[in-house]
Every structure is written in C-alpha cells, then in structure tokens.
Amino acid sequence: MRYLALLTVLFATAANSADTPTVSVEVSPESVTVGESIRLRVSVLGPTWFLQPPRFPSFEVTNAVVRLPPDSSFPLSQRVNGDTWTGVVRNYEVIPLIGGIFRMDGLVMQVTYADPETIKPVVMKLDVPPIAFTAVVPAGAEDLDPYIAGTGLQLRRELDGETDNLQAGDALVVQYSAELEGLPSMFIPDFVEMVDIAGVSVYTAEPRFSDDGVATRTEELTFVFEAGGEFTIPGVSLEWWNMATTTVESANLPAISVNVTGPPVTTPPAVQAQRELHPWRIAAILLLAVAAAWFLGRVLGITKKRRAERRQQELASEAYAFGQLQRALLSGDPRLGYQRLLGWVGRLEGVQDAASFAAEYGDETLQQGIRTLRAALYSEAVTEPDLQVLAASLGSANRSFHRDKRRAARALPPGLNP
C-alpha cells in the first residue's frame, strides 16, 4: 500500500572511514495527497558519543510546512561492524501545500563527537542525503480554487453590535471564522471577499490564526452605515476536500439583511433638457453618443486590461510579497509572518529556502530569528520571536540580496545583461 511504502536513503558520510559519524534519512510514505503528512526520520550515529547536540538543518522547503511533532527526538543505539554506536533520531512532519515533486538537496549538519582514540572533541560536517517526495491533488478535487483539505470544516459568524435599532452613523462588526480539522490553520486561505455597498463604508482587520485545539482563521469586517435603508451583510461559501470521505464538500453562511433608520442613499437628479430638440438634432446626438460609447468602451477595455496585467504582475512580484511579509511581522502575528516568509522566499531567484537565504545574505541575528520563529510555531519552545528585530534583519538581508544581483547583472557582457 502507498502508506506503507518506505524510502530509505543509505548512510552518507563526510569521510570513508568506518570510525566517523553517519547520517541517514527515511521518508515515509514517498507519495501523499496534498494536505496529508509525510514523516521525515533523520538518524545520526557516531562511534563514541556526541559532546554537543547535533545541529540539524532546518529542512525548509517552499510550499510545504515542516514541523517537529511532540517528543520528536530520542536516543538511538545500533550495532555497526560488531561495535555499538550511539546517536540521535529526530522525526519531522512535512505537509505539502500544493501538488508536485519536492526535493531537498545540499543540506549539511554539524556534529561534535569524542575521538575514539584520544577522546578529544572532533567537529565534523555531514552531508545529508538528498530527500524527495511527491504530493498530488486527489482526483475529483482538481477544480478547487483554492484547494482546502481536512477532515472537517465549519464556518461561523458573530455580530458585534445592535442589529434591531441601527441608525445612520452606526457601525456593525462582523466576525467570520473558519475552523479546519486535521491540518494547521495556515491551510485556511482568505475566505471573505471585500464588498462594495452604496451608503456603507467597509473596513477589514488583519486575519487572526489559532491552532489551540482546532485550527481557526478569523476575519473581521466593520460596516459603517452612512445612510438609511436595507443593506445585505454578505455570506460565505467554501468548497473543500474531505480527506475522511474523499469527496468535495461545501460549507456555507447565508447572507443576512439589516435595516438602518435614516435618510436613504441619494443620487444626483437627472439633468433636464433646457430647450426643445429637433428630430435631426436628436439623431445627431444619438449617433455621437453611440460613437463616443464605442470609443470609450475600447479605451476603457484596453486600460482595464493593462491595469489588470500590471496589478497581476505587482501581486506576483517579489517586492509585493516582501511588503506583505514585513506588514505581517510588524503586526505581531508570528504564524502569518512565517506563512508569508515562505511565500516570499519562493519568489527569490536562486534561493532554496529561508535558512539558506539567511546564511548567505543575513547575519547570526537573522538566522537565529528564523529558527526561533519556527520553533515557536512548531515545537514546544518557550522563547518568543522578536518579530520587529526579524523584520529589520530581513530588510537588511533583502538589500544585500538585491545589491548582489545588480552587481552580477553589471558584470555580464553587454549582450547578456538582463
């Protein structure tokens, strides 16, 4: 069966000596559907004992969540060539966010062990074997956009404010919550659309995430009624893949109406004709109006298309992703910040993951900040990340990254300059 498949990567060592530590990796299963988890088992063995805890790589991969489950590390002993070697096993949980083939290559870890003859400390870097696994979108869920998977999904809505005696000038706060069972809250996408209602100003707040018990994403809209009348509070509909029943299901919140007392929304009165128009003049005006409407439609269509293209390019740009990342960090939301960190790194050309970016373009402060952020989200660490310091460190590293890119571009021959 697929879930019983086990991909074992043979021992990779930094030297051919039988007296040096080894590291091995097991991936199980080797293929899952998007949203299901993969176990990544990393084992480190040495001929004596480790004088310091092994420094494992971060195992970050774009478009997947990597986290340490509870009690993820434990000691290991194994017979090697008749001798007893000791070491450490660490288990990781990897959850792909999209379909595709995932690879982690070029990872290195550091160990410090006692030399078998002198018992003196020996520091050694070990190459981690290449890691590969596959995630697929299940048949029947190909049209889900966005793709949401879990074993249960509930939508809830709470109204904060009077709904029976609303008057012009009053505000109504509407809180929408999506509760997903089986996966972390970062799997829940934006699910409340911004609305444009005549006579109402609508304000949004930054989404909030929680994984205490059931994974929850909460979004908040504030409606300020500037006129009287009957207004509609929008509903929400989400289609999602139920991993328990292997079917597409739908969660819905219906729209609701509220009545507001006050002057209704006014529109400018139509301009009355000031003089009688002759038939030929009416015909000429109609002809000009048709021609102007056609020309204006063409211009507006082209302008709208170009604006949409520019907007799409902006939303897909690395600069936009970095701005979203900085706003998330400065808002104090570590989970949203980490989610947008992964998305931004995925748009950096030539960068494998956040850890390698920090190592090449950042400093120890940035590297430690990313490690602390991950630990706060996916382990039992008690240290809270300083998101403002992390934002500043990322800004400095980002400038170094783009400075190096510009230098590399200027160093190319004239015909190859991008």
Residue-wise pLDDT tens digits, 32-45? 988 888 999 999 99
Return the C-alpha torsion angle 281, 286, 290, 296, nearest 10.
70
- Indicate the pairing of strand 256-261 with strand 166-167: parallel
Same domain, 6 and 128: yes
Burial group, residue 104, by CB count within 10 angstroms (0-12, 13-18, 19+): buried
* Residues 6 or more apart in contact with residue 307 via CB below 8 angstroms: none
Same domain, 65 and 191: no
- 50: which 2 tokens? 């480790």
Mean pLDDT for the stretch of residues 77-103: 89
Give the span between the Cα atoms of 158 and 218, in whole angstroms.
11
Structural domain count, the chain: 3
Phi, psi for 91 (deg, rounded to 5): -100, 135
Same domain, 84 and 14: yes
**Which of these, 366, 373, 375, lies nearest to 394 by C-alpha position?**
366
- Of 261, 282, 301, which closes a domain? 261
Mean pLDDT for the stretch of residues 335-344: 84
Residue 344 and residue 354 in contact, taking contact as beta carbons nearer than 8 Å: no
CA angle at 23 for the pair 20 and 29, rounded to the nearest 5°:
160
- Of 85, 103, 136, which closes a domain? 136
Q: Cβ atoms within 10 A of the Cβ of 216, count?
A: 18
Same domain, 123 and 172: no
Q: Is residue 327 part of a domain?
A: yes
Q: Cβ atoms within 10 A of the Cβ of 293, count?
A: 10
Cis before 96? omega within 30: no
Residue 89 and residue 43 in contact, taking contact as beta carbons nearer than 8 Å: yes
> CA of 86: how far to CAs of 43, 50, 117, in Å?
10, 8, 16
Same domain, 194 and 129: no
Same domain, 76 and 174: no
Residue 64 and residue 375 in contact, taking contact as beta carbons nearer than 8 Å: no
- 323: which 2 tokens? 């701005």
- 173: which 2 tokens? 């706060």
Q: Is residue 296 part of a domain?
A: no
Mean pLDDT for the stretch of residues 243-252: 90
- 134: which 2 tokens? 């596959």
Query: Within a 13 Å sphere around the CA of 71, how many CA atoms are in the beta-carbon half?
Result: 0
3, pLDDT greater than 60: no
Q: Which domain holds residue 194?
A: 149-261
**Per-residue confidence band for 314, with pLDDT thresholds at 50, 70 and 90:** low
pTM: 0.52
- 236: which 2 tokens? 């929400």
pLDDT digits (tens, 9 = 90+) for 252-292: 999 989 898 888 876 555 444 444 556 766 777 777 877 77
Q: Is residue 156 part of a domain?
A: yes
Strands (E), 47-170: 50-55, 64-67, 73-80, 83-96, 100-104, 108-114, 121-127, 131-136, 149-150, 152-160, 166-167
What pLDDT score does 111 carry? 94
Same domain, 9 and 121: yes
Same domain, 173 and 112: no
- % of the chain residues with pLDDT over 90: 22
Residue 153 and residue 248 in contact, taking contact as beta carbons nearer than 8 Å: no
Q: Is residue 313 part of a domain?
A: no
- Of 136, 171, 189, which closes a domain? 136
Same domain, 227 and 172: yes
Q: Which residues make beta-bridge pairs with 28? A: 39
Same domain, 248 and 130: no
- 53: which 2 tokens? 């805890």
Same domain, 157 and 248: yes
382, pLDDT greater than 70: no
Same domain, 131 and 7: yes
Residue 329 and residue 337 in contact, taking contact as beta carbons nearer than 8 Å: yes
Helix (H) or strand (E) holding 327: helix 318-330
Q: Is residue 207 part of a domain?
A: yes
Q: Is residue 120 part of a domain?
A: yes
Rg (CA), the chain: 29
Q: Is residue 287 part of a domain?
A: no
Mean pLDDT for the stretch of residues 16-21: 68
Q: Is residue 293 part of a domain?
A: no
**CATH label of the domain that carries residue 238:** 2.60.40
